[in-house]
A and B are shown apart, each in its own frame.
Chain A
């Protein structure tokens, strides 16, 4: 965790505009089957939400809806405080798919993410250092293990500055030390005034995280 302190210090320098994500009465159907309905949640700067529920309850579908990948079958998703911006343009998404190209090195993958997402924060090298993978910067991602790839994907959160972090089971494939590292990164983001929504089965390690349970 010592190595991530520098990264967090850099992150706390910035401040985000006052934003609030408001989801009202959201409904989701897949293949004609009702997955969830009447989901309400609200997320503002400095807040964390842990989205829980059994397998198949619709956690990933909810995140897909927030990203605009899935169309809601009812209800509304709105952002207060941002004019005309879509949530996805204000968010980092780290989901089941890492969004990495196996033929490119970890550094190249992060440089690409930084260019595409904009609002540059840490350099790719510094972000890799923060997730404890400084030594793997020049390695093609294909040579990394599942847990290491997940950490490279998480380093994306640091290369570009975005107020919302949407994480889909971020702890999966991570060992205990890396889980603690991620908790540290999330604390840093909350401290800097960011917001986190994480679908999870295990604890996030954040005291202030509210729990929203979907599905019965």
Chain B
């Protein structure tokens, strides 16, 4: 069983590395948003550094959302989802492996790139590490909440934007606690720990609930 789990994980990582697409595109999209915002705001450095964590979090959220529709749709179209249904591995475990691979190739690179992109929004030095930590801990929630939406849209031929539209409202709590944890590191009355732990809790819950929900959606595809 663990062999099948690792096979799904390995295959998705190999596909991401070889076919490109998803992960790299998300990273470039993230960069694009973070570069565009300062142009729209104008040359107010104080304003920019104050809303910097929010810009980075929004950018990361949108970057994760755009690539989500292919998560299960590609497997449904070429028939490899049938292969996973035929496996003795429970569908939940296959979904978990795919969600994990999605995070490793999308969420993790976004978190790793955030200190660099923080420079573009004049993020104060003391906020760089906390922001990185919130993205590291918060992006798994985005991958797994997104997996549910992606599973619902798996059998739609032209899913496209429906997945981000479905998923975005569900990610609001993650966004709120991610940004407030990052802001707490910049000062204020709330300690960093409180929103950060809630964010971690949201991620853990999303991994469990998202996995079960996505597997259920895939089972009742027709």
Binding site for B on A (CB under 8 A): 64, 67-71, 88-89, 91-93, 95-104, 108, 111-113, 115-118
Chain A residue with the shortest CB-CB distance to B89: A116
Q: Which of B14, B77, B79 has the most CB of A within 10 A?
A: B79
Task: Give complex CA distance A103, B12 in Å.
Answer: 11
Query: Contact at A99–B15, with CB atoms within 8 Å?
Result: no
**Set A70, A103, A111: member contacting B222, Cβ < 8 A:** A70
Residue from B3, B7, B11, B86 having most chain A Cβ neighbours under 10 A: B86
Q: Is the CB of B221 within 8 A of A116?
A: no
Closest to B8 in A: A116
Across the interface, name the chain B residue whose C-beta is closest to A142: B19
Given contacts A98-B79, A115-B6, contact A89 B86 (CB under 8 A): yes
Do residues B4 and A104 form an inter-chain contact, with CB atoms below 8 A?
no
- Interface of chain B residues 71 through 91 with chain A (CB within 8 A): 77-80, 82-89
7 interchain residue pairs of minimum CB distance: A97-B79, A115-B7, A99-B79, A103-B19, A116-B87, A103-B18, A116-B4
Q: In the complex, what's the smallest C-beta–C-beta distance from A106 to chain B, in angstroms? A: 14
How long is the Cα–Cα vector from A8 to B86 in the complex, in angstroms? 23
Q: Of all chain B residues, which has the CB nearest A111?
A: B7
Q: Known: A97-B77, A99-B79. Contact between A88 and B86, CB under 8 A?
A: yes
* Cα distance A116–B2 in the bound complex, in angstroms: 10
Q: Please report the C-alpha to C-alpha distance between residue A96 and residue B82 in the assembled complex, in whole angstroms.
A: 11
Q: Is the CB of B89 within 8 A of A67?
A: no
Q: Does the CB pair B82–A101 fall under 8 Å?
A: no
**Contact size range, B:** 20 to 34
Inter-subunit contact A112/B87 (CB<8 Å): no
* Bitwise interface map of B from 1 to 42 toward A, beta carbon under 8 Å scored 1, else 0: 001101110010011001100000000000000000000000
Q: Are B88 and A99 in contact (CB under 8 A)?
A: no
A98 to B89, CA, bound (A): 20
Q: Can you add 6 more A-B contacts, CB < 8 Å, to A97-B77, A99-B83, A104-B15?
A: A89-B87, A93-B83, A97-B78, A98-B78, A111-B7, A116-B86
The distance in angstroms between the C-alpha atoms of A115 and B80, with both chains bound, is 13
Which of A70, A89, A92, A108 makes the CB contact (< 8 A) with B88? A89
Closest to B85 in A: A88
Q: How far is the CA of A102 from the CA of B4 in the complex (A)?
A: 20
A102 to B14 alpha-carbon distance, docked (Å): 12
